[in-house]
Homo-oligomer: A and B are copies of this chain.
């Protein structure tokens, strides 16, 4: 008798990522294969249909993971055995699937670029079966990373140059989000993360202070501050475990004790009326000659609250932002789509109400006037403007072309530059009025009309 099979590790990795698909992608792949269509060239376009209410732009993020998936797409034997057990797939198809690799090309907007509705973030051009199998994974990664980068860009804007630190790991949706959100936030201008693994894997600067539990574990708050500052002289002390201002006075007491060796960098406020507590803490610190001790604030912050604190002139030098940024609470999702726009050299669309598709391969041109983005045009691939083309060829023959498509510092620098080039009303927190202008080129509009007529005739 065979004992119970040990459960599989509950993790996604390069080896099992190809199974992170919706079943229909595999059943469709088998159908394409049976119909002799599987190797015919298709174009899939990844874009979103509408901006969420509180977003003026979306910051593209997640391309590096998309390319990694396509480059490594390969089903392992044990995955094929599992698929066979589902009863939908023939062994002949699974043998064919075992050899399947993505051999096509990818055009994409680089990470850190602001994008707008209907603009392709990624176009996958290759045999239809492999392109179809990438649908869910590419959407999953690009959607959430772009959602979170877009939220973080607002928080960074609100902070107006003050440092923002990501504290969101504990409230994010799972380990993969915890890891990759820290990277997406850094692309968007967040200075550092509390997440150590994100530091290890991506090189995001890691930062941290102390938790209430540390203070609680000591019988006395001052003793906790003393012990922590002894070990970490330039630390940040959390002052609100009991009475916030009494906590600040204990920091002053510690400074008196330590004299010239007191090097505590900041205090952290985590509850209560942050503007008022920051003002009163600043007074207490300044009166004690501790002008260079900074004030760091956290606790339920989002871009609105930060903008309010900044507008009130609260003497806060940096913000720790967790929950609201960590799940992009006001807009946790984008209406993202991955749609077939061409097959066998012919443009494709669908006519379901409210969900149009722009057919064929496309390019997006961004016009700039005196260094400011003046409007985008979605055009057919091969058109020549007006403006700067945003989609670049990043993969050919199934191999990534860019030196390092996941280069974090380049993506961060691009985001800084490209957000900075948006009109002030689009960069800002309030709804842009008018919204950033995006047009469809006459050639693409004409082509869409032509394809629609063919489909309606067919």
Task: List 15 additional contacts besides A12-B178, A139-B170, A215-B350; criterion CB under 8 Å.
Answer: A7-B404, A20-B179, A22-B170, A23-B194, A31-B227, A136-B178, A136-B194, A173-B174, A173-B177, A173-B327, A173-B332, A176-B176, A242-B351, A326-B333, A327-B327
**Number of A residues, CB within 8 Å of B:** 124
Counted per complex, copies of this chain come to 2
A206 contacts chain B at the CB level, 8 A cutoff:
yes
In the complex, A296 has a CB within 8 A of chain B: no
Contact at A167–B132, with CB atoms within 8 Å? no
* Residue from B170, B176, B196 in contact with A177 in the complex, judged by beta carbons closer than 8 Å: B176
Select from chain B the residue with minimum beta-carbon distance to A352.
Answer: B271
Which chain A residues in 339-388 approach chain B with CB under 8 Å?
339-340, 343, 348-355
* B197–A170 CB distance below 8 A: no
Contact of A288 with B by CB under 8 A: no
Which 3 interchain pairs have the tightest Cβ spacing? A23-B208, A174-B176, A173-B173
CB-defined contacts of A26 to chain B, threshold 8 Å = 196, 208
Question: Within 8 Å of chain B (Cβ to Cβ): is A285?
Answer: no
* Contacting residues of chain A (21-48) with chain B, CB-CB under 8 angstroms: 21-28, 30-32, 34-35, 37, 42, 44
Say yes or no: B20 contacts A348, CB within 8 Å: no
Given contacts A11-B12, A227-B35, A329-B333, contact A23 B196 (CB under 8 A): yes
A209 to chain B, nearest CB (A): 6
Bound complex: CA A178 to CA B10 (Å): 11
Considering the complex, give the chain B residue whose CB is closest to the CB of A34: B231
Q: Which of A140-182 contact B (CB under 8 A)?
A: 140-141, 143-144, 147-148, 167, 169-181
Which residues on B sit within 8 Å (CB–CB) of A214? Answer: 28, 31-32
Whether A264 is near chain B, meaning CB under 8 Å from some CB there, is no
| Interface flag for A287 (CB, 8 Å) | no
For the complex, is A441 an interface residue (Cβ under 8 Å from B)? no
Known: A9-B13, A132-B211. A174 touches B169 (CB 8 A): no
Stretch at the interface among A97-105, A216-224, A409-417: A216-224
Contact at A333–B340, with CB atoms within 8 Å?
no
Given contacts A139-B170, A140-B170, A212-B352, contact A19 B232 (CB under 8 A): no
Given contacts A20-B196, A228-B31, A340-B212, contact A217 B11 (CB under 8 A): no
Chain B residue with the shortest CB-CB distance to A93? B231
